[in-house]
A = this chain, B = another copy of it.
Amino acid sequence: MGALHAGHLSLVRQAAQENTDIVVSIYVNPLQFGINEDLDTYPRTWEKDLKKLMELDQEFAETNARMTKSSPHNIGEENKSSRTRQSTSPLVSRSLGRISAVFAPTTETMYPTLPPTSDNGTFVTVTPLASLLEGASRPVFFRGVATVCMKLFNIVAPDKVYFGQKDVQQTVIIKRMVKDLCVPTDVVIGPTMREDDGLAMSSRNIYLGQRRRPKAPILVKALEVAEEQYMCGKLNREDILGPAQSLLDSLAKEQEQLVAEQRVRFEVDYISLADMDSLEEVRVVDETRGAVLSGAIKMLPIENPREGEGDEKSVRLIDNIILKPTR
């Protein structure tokens, strides 16, 4: 959806290592916004996005040029398949791909018959996955995501599609859709990119403002506390999630004791310990399967804001940590 940050760019970088040609889609998809959500104010930074992508593409080209120069003896040794471009570098299988296109369609292109505001249309639904976790708070969200991704996949026909781990439920749903509808593409998940204090990068972080931003890593901290329990051998739901919940409770109390001009309030939407494929909550983690820890919190509007402290809307943050199988 544009408003590109280092997380998006890391996906493009990963794609460049594994492909010859990359298409970046930039489209703020109305279908995945609920009526009370932030479609109108979602950050749109088209010029900046293009500049970042052009710089990145330039970086790929320079890396390729350097590699060609420094390893002349490898020329011709690599396996040249018909799918690799030979024009950029003779070191075909080692060279980075290029950003061949930015696909930024209009809504008329993406929704040719009925506007995405209609209750009617052609939809891809993935149930019950789409109604759990994020879907409980955002009932139309994943229908919008699955539908627009199906369209994008059909238009671009990519060998591989790249999604960020940060939106874990999205990755599970897209993988399921691709499997169920036999879409001929591989779904690749890139790791969550984080700020120095651990906050997962998100285009919506800019909404936080000065007062809330330093407190925003509470979600990942809570998830890390839960992760530690698992790494120490705890498998029961209560043993894993209890300490995370306690941390959030104590942070909330700490803030409540501050004056209105200083405090930051938040609501926990959910903290989940769920199966990796079904996203159903688990009571005991199966060590051979692992699980996914995820959470969503709503940073509430700040009280008595001062100049520059940001605006008054709630900001919803999500994050997750994969608990890998330990056996």
Contacts and interface: CB of A to CB of B under 8 A. Distances in A.
B127 A184 contact: no
A124 B124 contact: yes
A232 interface: no
Q: Which residue among A114, A122, A182, A184 has the maximum number of chain B CB atoms within 10 Å of its CB? A: A122
Instruction: Give chain A's interface residue range (CB within 8 Å of chain B).
Output: 20 to 34
B126 A180 contact: no
A147 B127 CA distance: 14
A154 interface: yes
Given A112-B179, A179-B113, A182-B155, A122 B121 contact: no
Contact of A122 (B122, B154, B180): B180
Oligomer: number of copies: 2
A150 B176 CA distance: 14
B124 A180 contact: no
B122 A124 contact: yes
A67 to B, nearest CB: 34
Contacts of A147: 181
Interface of A: 111-114, 119-128, 146-147, 150-151, 154-155, 157, 176-177, 179-184
Contacts of A125: 122-123, 125
Nearest to A152: B182
A181 B150 contact: yes
A271 to B, nearest CB: 24
Contacts of A113: 176, 179-180
B180 A112 contact: yes
B122 A182 contact: no
| A-B interface, 4 closest residue pairs, ranked by CB to CB distance from nearest | A122-B180, A154-B182, A120-B127, A151-B182
A55 B111 CA distance: 43
Contacts of A154: 181-184
A170 to B, nearest CB: 14
B127 A121 contact: yes
Nearest to A155: B182
Given A113-B176, A176-B113, A122 B155 contact: no
Nearest to A110: B182
A239 to B, nearest CB: 30
Nearest to A177: B122
B181 A151 contact: yes
A276 to B, nearest CB: 13
Given A112-B180, A179-B112, A180-B111, A123 B122 contact: no
A55 to B, nearest CB: 30
Nearest to A127: B120
A184 B157 CA distance: 9
Q: Which residue among A124, A151, A179, A180 has the maximum number of chain B CB atoms within 10 Å of its CB? A: A180
B122 A128 contact: no
A23 to B, nearest CB: 14
